[in-house]
Amino acid sequence: MYHKTTPYRIFNVFNICLLVMLSIMCIVPLIHVLAVSFSAKSAADANLVGLWPVQFSLEAYKKTMNNPIFLHSIWISVCRTVLGTGLTLLITFLAAYPLSKETSVFRSRNVYSWLFVFSMIFNGGLVPFYMVIQKIHLMDSFWVLVLPGAVNTFLVILMLNFFRGIPKEMEEAALIDGAGHFRTLFSIFLPISMPSIATIALFSMVFHWNSWFDGLLYLSNAKDYPLATFLQTVIIQKDMSSMSMSPKEMELLSQTTVNAAQIFIGAAPILIVYPFLQKYFVKGMTLGSVKE
Amino acid sequence: MRSLQRTWPFHIMLLPAIIFLIVFSYIPMGGIVMAFQNYKPWLGITGSEWVGLDNFRFLFQREDSLQVVWNTLIIAVLKMFFNLVVPFVFAILLNEIRKVGLQRSIQTLVYLPHFLSWVILGGILIDLLATDGFMNRILGSFGIQPIFFLGDNNWFRFTVIVSDIWKEFGYNTIVFLAALAGINPSLYEASEMDGASRWRQTLHITVPSLIPMVVVVGTLALGNVLNAGFDQIFNLYNPLVYQKGDIIDTFVYRTALINGEMGFATAIGLFKSVISMILILISYRLAYKWAGYRIF
């Protein structure tokens, strides 16, 4: 009945206005960047651009796409995202299966669980980690971007919680029919785990695409940087000295509109993938957090 | 049923994960001994001089490191508080919107910033918040003097906290929305029969139903008291605001890799890890006790 009272109606209109404004606030900065990237250099440098391009121009994108270092960094980011996500998915999928078993079935489970959990709550810190990377000769190698983040306990927990929701009878039937655990995992569990795999893939892809600190820390040659690290040095640090570029290349990069174009291209893959996977990660999130 | 009892496949399945854990998590823990040394790279861990707890003594004597711990606590605690309150209120308000399409659209927009990195957002904010940037032009039209959001010690923390809330509030509502969806509708129906207004229903049904979730999210956040957000600070700060904006993680990065004080930096890192671990253990225990939450 409350729907029809006047105070509630007033509240409702007010509420809708407020929330719509809040949600617009969440994307206004992105729209601004997009507008700047499509504006003429003079207008952008004079800070005349608001939410709509001033003197529409594609110059910034042309320059960005003609920059070989930028294109190469995209390639590195794509490689690390594909390989890193694949590796994480495989390892997480394999590890979550035994960990989802009862202790009565798999007695060593608790030992393994503690290894995982302890690694999540305690770590050696930045300096010892850096030195291990040095010692195992991962410095300046592409693999330093892929290997260290391959196991993520949080994702393993998401996956194993999903496995626990699968009826035991399915697994038992498979085992009675003579399938081993590997066969059960890949032929029975894999096809029904797709929503959960999609969630983990999304989290992992976003992680790899956005990671910038590892590149900055472990790669000394700016030409090997993934896109996020490249953007960090060019846009945030503006530290051209480390980039070993010719003055001509530097000029290409140090413009407001070009920066905006690069930022937008950096965000684009996430903007594209995100709407498709939204329903999965909402489920995935609540799966890991709300439990009966 | 013999295959049920054979567990060797389990060990093999876990092998890759365990190898990665050992190499990238457990071996680095051995490097902690550097915290008790005056570490010199050319002497290595075996050759460097042992100094006992000196590095830790420095930590509590040097003015800069104390300031850093204090900055970390302030920024982290304020972020935790607002990242609990804002999503809580937002979830309740969002739940009042009955048009499903509108509700979904709002959700899609507010979740989005969470998935963008602080490099991208840093690039955007540095431009937006400059003294002659978009933000100050809007403020200027209200007659407000330009504010140097990212270069003024009085404004930096405010900017960091507000921009973090802006980035995360939508994403943090997910758990509250899930809890709201789990409330038994018959509670509302019954209260409506009794003539309760929507405000009364919110106060006596909605809010109490969300309290367990608030407790879980709040207690679990406790483990992050020393995490003020490395990515964000690193991408937004500059030497002008080190005094109010430098946090443990950024300080460790600078002392270790720029000043080369490896032993000291390891000691700060260890200090942070140990305190965090204790807080995490306490928070998980409390979350279990108060709300029946279990992680594994």
pLDDT at B161: 96
Which amino acid does the sequence have at B69? V
Place A243 in a pLDDT band, splitting at 50, 70 and 90: very low
- The answer to whether B264 and A125 are in contact (CB under 8 A) is no
Contact call for B197 and A30, based on CB within 8 A: no
Q: For residue B57, how many other CB atoms are within 10 A of its CB?
A: 12
Q: For residue B184, how many other CB atoms are within 10 A of its CB?
A: 10
* Among A22, A151, A263, beta carbon nearest to B21: A151
Picking from B113, B253, B231, the residue whose alpha carbon sits closest to that of residue A129 is: B253
Residue of B nearest to A132 (CA): B28
pLDDT at A242: 41
pLDDT greater than 70 at residue A129: yes
Parts of chain B with a pLDDT under 70: 1-5, 295-296
Place A44 in a pLDDT band, splitting at 50, 70 and 90: confident
Contact call for A266 and B111, based on CB within 8 A: no
SS (H, E, C) chain B: CHHHHCCHHHHHHHHHHHHHHHHHHHHHHHHHHHHHEECCCCCHHHHCEECCCHHHHHHHHCHHHHHHHHHHHHHHHHHHHHHHHHHHHHHHHHHCCCCHHHHHHHHHHHHHHHHCCHHHHHHHHHHHCCCCCHHHHHHHHCCCCCCCCCCCHHHHHHHHHHHHHHHHHHHHHHHHHHHHHCCCHHHHHHHHHCCCCHHHHHHHHHHHHHHHHHHHHHHHHHHHCCCCCHHHHHHHCCHHHHHHHCCHHHHHHHHHHHCCCHHHHHHHHHHHHHHHHHHHHHHHHHHHHHHCCCCC
pLDDT at B44: 83
CB contact residues (below 8 A), chain B span 61-120, against chain A: 90, 93-94, 96-98, 102, 105-106, 108-113, 115-117, 119-120
Picking from A95, A57, A77, A198, the residue whose alpha carbon sits closest to that of residue A145 is: A77
- Sign of the torsion angle spanned by Cα atoms B123, A62, A245, A140: positive
A133-157 confidence digits (pLDDT tens) = 999 999 999 999 999 999 999 899 9
Encoding tokens for residue A117? 């959990």
pLDDT at A284: 65
pLDDT at A47: 79
CB contact residues (below 8 A), chain B span 16-35, against chain A: 16-18, 20-21, 23-32, 34
pLDDT greater than 70 at residue A239: no
Quick one: angle between helices B63-95 and A6-37, nearest 10? 130
pLDDT at B45: 84
Average pLDDT, stretch A92-110?
Answer: 92
pLDDT at A1: 63
Place A46 in a pLDDT band, splitting at 50, 70 and 90: confident
* Among A151, A212, A271, beta carbon nearest to B20: A151
B74-99 confidence digits (pLDDT tens) = 999 999 999 999 999 999 999 999 89
- How high is the ipTM of this complex? 0.88
